Amino acid sequence: MVVALHERGLFSWDEWAHTLSGEPKAPGVAADGSDYFHCWLRALERMLAAKGVAAAFEIDDLTQAWHRAARATPHGKPILLENDPEAVARRG
């Protein structure tokens, strides 16, 4: 996703490197680097917010919707955002 967004011109590699470089130094990050994926994810979320693509609360809401959809999806079936029970209830 990071590469695709860079290729579409959302940010330069310098911007990405600067944003990502701060994450492994943040409080609470594993010293052994075992949560480096989460550093990438947090950096991407920060970049999306800084560029006005998605606010933190929008990312959080969508993340929760995907989690609910995953829990509501039968094993072996594709997880679809439409399976989110809260989205179904809102559509009524």
* Residue 35 near residue 27, CB atoms below 8 Å: no
Predicted confidence (pLDDT) per residue in 37-57, tens digit: 999 999 999 999 999 999 999
Q: What is the greatest pairwise CA distance in the chain? A: 47
Ordered by start, the domain boundaries in the chain are 1-54, 55-92
Print pLDDT tens along the chain (92 aa).
999 999 999 999 999 999 999 999 889 999 898 999 999 999 999 999 999 999 999 999 999 999 999 999 999 999 999 999 987 666 55
* Residue 45 near residue 56, CB atoms below 8 Å: yes
